Amino acid sequence: MKVAVLDIKGKDTGRKVELSDAIFSIEPNNHALYLDIKQYLANQRQGTHKSKERAEISGSTRKIKKQKGTGTARAGSIKSPVFRGGGRVFGPRPRSYSFKLNKELKRLARKSALSIKVKEDNLIVLEDFNFDTPKTKNFIEVLGALGLESKKSMFVLGESNNNVYLASRNLKRAKVVSSSNLNTYSLTNANKLIISESVLGEIESNLNK
């Protein structure tokens, strides 16, 4: 499949690049997408939630009333979950929510996400560019030229585009990542995917391992 290469002004450069059918034209695997996105979101959870159980509550261990003759249920400790200020029963404890997925499944998920973007005509190949200074104004001009001001967009650029990354940090709807940091969640979350011309080879080599 051939795709036209655009410049930062949104105009056709007259060049076309060949997209690998093994990466950009596969039948999407929805279950692989689900698992990879689930793992990504699970890894974002801190898992530091904690509540005190009865053994951790500070308070007297004195038996608060006699065992019999009160007409109410027996009670041996003020730290019981029955009473206000007592410990919580089966409260949350710190834990890790992460789980493992094999590399082949994660590659399949990324290929599926890229194929969906191509099928929906939401992939743009952009010629390589950089900024002399990290100004947000310059990046907004690029978004305007590509018609992406009101859309969530993700730019996949090379490692040397630090000024472009810095220029985009203040914008909520735009995200700039390198090919090595590409993940399925970000791919599916973006309305438009913009890939630098020189990065296509890196993506194909990473996903063909």
In angstroms, the CA 168 to CA 187 distance is: 17
Q: What is the pLDDT of residues 144-193, one digit of tens each?
A: 999 998 899 999 998 778 899 999 999 999 999 998 889 999 999 999 99
In angstroms, the CA 129 to CA 132 distance is: 10
User: Which pLDDT score is estimated for 53?
Assistant: 94
User: Which pLDDT score is estimated for 158?
Assistant: 84
User: Which pLDDT score is estimated for 160?
Assistant: 75
Q: What is the pLDDT of residues 99-151, one digit of tens each?
A: 999 999 999 999 999 999 999 999 999 998 989 999 999 999 999 999 998 89
Give CA separation, 191 vs 57, 152, 194, in Å: 50, 5, 10
Quick one: average pLDDT of 94-98?
Answer: 96
- When the pLDDT of each residue in the chain is averaged and rounded to a whole number, the result is 93
Q: Which residues pair with 124 in a beta bridge?
A: 194
In angstroms, the CA 35 to CA 18 distance is: 29
In angstroms, the CA 167 to CA 171 distance is: 9
The residue assigned the tokens 């191509």 is: 118
In angstroms, the CA 122 to CA 162 distance is: 25
**pLDDT above 90: residue 61:** no
Q: Under CATH, what is the fold of the domain 2-46+100-207?
A: Ribosomal Protein L4; Chain: A; (3.40.1370)
3-state SS of 78-127? CCCCCCCCCCCCCCCCCCCCCCCCCHHHHHHHHHHHHHHHHHCCCEEEEC
Domains of the chain, residue spans: 2-46+100-207, 51-91
Q: What is the pLDDT of residues 9-44, one digit of tens each?
A: 989 899 999 999 999 999 999 999 999 999 999 999
Give CA separation, 134 vs 95, 138, 185, in Å: 40, 8, 27
Angle subtended at Cα 101 by Cα 105 and Cα 91, rounded to the nearest 5 degrees: 145
What share of residues in the chain are helix, strand, coil (percent, to 5)? 35, 15, 50
Which carries the bigger pLDDT value, residue 1 or residue 187? 187
User: Which pLDDT score is estimated for 106?
Assistant: 96
- Per the document, the length of the chain is 209
Q: How confident is the model at residue 6 (pLDDT cuts 50, 70, 90)?
A: very high
User: Which pLDDT score is estimated for 159?
Assistant: 79
